[in-house]
Structure 1
């Protein structure tokens, strides 16, 4: 059914924040470093709106202290871009990623792991916008850099692996997507054990591929596992929990388990509203899935009401 086009939110957390704060040698650097630490705590909790002004101020301090093209500015640019991405503000995130990438390539060279990280983030932004032809070469380059510099079994390679697989899934190329998702899961489970919350993205994405190959029992097992791990790690109101609810609901809708699907779609929307606000593009995705469920049941008035809200959200955010 058409509403399941966006049923499984691919790679929702497969973006990287910077790992280091730089050299805190000046007062402004110390203040920026403190802001970045606070920002990352909000980010990990899924509180992107609260993280945003901290990231903006940290970047402004770094630019004032070092200039707009200095090495110390690259990662604050990436971090701010990542927060805008998670808020669905793709047009704002793209130039931030591009600036970060240009600085990193100039200062570190084209084959540095931090270059790979920004390539991953920009590639996943293009994936989220459906710009698959732009996304694929960036993600392949990110993987190649990681394989060369940190090795094929380092957890950092999982991000671009997952996102490239998501690009393939978005194009219906499931035979190419599945082995990449499985490879990423194997790397994470080897490194961090079976209950790593970072692995839930891969579980959900692999489940989506299984759904599209009609392997529903395998998909349900993965989605329930992903939801349990996510809720244990982040609590019941995290955006990733909301997406897990949507994903399981989409599977149930595909199977005709309508009452279960409707309940989970509505729970997903309510959870997203708590943490992301009422106008996030992810809410529009879930609402469209819910509308598709209503249409399949002949509940056209309900479907029209839900679609009206989804269209309003997309009109405000510019998301497609």
Structure 2
């Protein structure tokens, strides 16, 4: 596979050579490999070449063209090119509905990808409508107790979270949990994080705390890539703010967990305080995803203030949250604020 990836990258600048030296299957496989390796820019370039070849070889409404469009949409989603992502997903959906019919299971795969897009774009109501349609298709095709139906319910629950519809989110997660726990064999890891997510939502509901879904950390666990791709979890995209924002930050650099639920740091338990402070950090990272570094800064400050008021300025969780805020300021290009935060003695951040 390495030589295929290398060849694909080498011939990208020459469409004619590409057509002679490498097939669509090889181009697609190379693009998928690059995507799985989080090389989103290169994956997008290879997928664009594969799309040109698919359009010319198979036609603009062929299923292989739809498959390529999904890969290209995934790659651009990883790069946070949201407008381009939407175009490719919508075109893929139109092809699948035309070729397979509106109730085919592969249609539900792209509906869920579109739902993820809308969650990332801050449109949970639109995501909800897409999830409901995907749920109807999957429950009808696979059965109401199928694990894939449970995954769809979990995405739907996150749509309710994005709308602050606490009880609907909890009830929907409860339905998903019941199906996942009854599977043979049950996926214990998935069952465990669903239980922890329900606990986090219950705590947020009790405290009347704002909390939003965090697709990069959650949704890659809820469904597999669509359209004839291997049944493997989608990797969490790197979060890069657009160049115009003056910031380039990713969850690892900010100390955010990858591939796990955003609960209290370093703990498998959720607490009301942890849920409250974490929710502001989730929202901060979500703001980074759409290039709003200023709002991300304000939300990080609120997370720190919550910890300071409830736990005190020297509590370990307060200090850990403060360190993540310091890293954010550093990556956001705010050296004076970073230095002030690093050198000042423990005190309320509200005094700064």
TM-score of the superposed pair, with normalisation by structure 2: 0.56
CA distance in 1, matches of 2:67, 2:84: 16
Distance change (3 Å), C-alpha of 1:244 and 1:206 = same
CA distance in 2, matches of 1:295, 1:252: 19
Q: Which position in structure 2 is the counterpart of 1:154?
A: 146
Q: Out of 88, 92, 98, which is 1:100 matched to?
A: 92
Structure 1 or 2, whichever has the larger Rg, is 2
Q: Which position in structure 1 is the counterpart of 2:258?
A: 242
Distance change (3 Å), C-alpha of 1:83 and 1:305 = closer
Q: Which position in structure 2 is the counterpart of 1:170?
A: 162
Q: Out of 291, 310, 313, which is 2:301 matched to?
A: 291
Q: How does 1:32-111 map to 2 (within 5 A)?
A: 32-111=24-103
| Cα offset, 1:203, TM superposition | 5.4
Query: Is the Cα contact below 8 Å between 1:105 and 1:115 reproduced in 2?
Result: yes
Q: How does 1:117-156 map to 2 (within 5 A)?
A: 117-156=109-148
| Cα offset, 1:87, TM superposition | 3.0
CA distance in 2, matches of 1:199, 1:282: 33
CA distance in 2, matches of 1:256, 1:150: 37
Distance change (3 Å), C-alpha of 1:61 and 1:172 = same
The unaligned stretches of length 5 or more in structure 2 are 1-18, 208-217, 222-232, 239-250, 314-321, 335-352
CA distance in 2, matches of 1:54, 1:204: 39
CA distance in 2, matches of 1:174, 1:257: 13
More helix by share: 1
Describe the SS at the equivalent of 2:144: coil
Distance change (3 Å), C-alpha of 1:37 and 1:160 = same
TM-score of the superposed pair, with normalisation by structure 1: 0.61
Describe the SS at the equivalent of 1:79: helix
Query: Is the Cα contact below 8 Å between 2:203 and 2:271 reproduced in 1?
Result: no
Distance change (3 Å), C-alpha of 1:159 and 1:193 = closer
| Cα offset, 1:42, TM superposition | 4.2
Two-structure CA RMSD over aligned residues (Å): 4.6
The unaligned stretches of length 5 or more in structure 1 are 1-26, 216-225, 273-278, 313-320
How many residues of Structure 1 are paired with residues of Structure 2 in the alignment? 253
1:218-255 deviation digits (Å, cap 9, x = unpaired): xxxxxxxx9xx9xxx99xx9979436375434998962
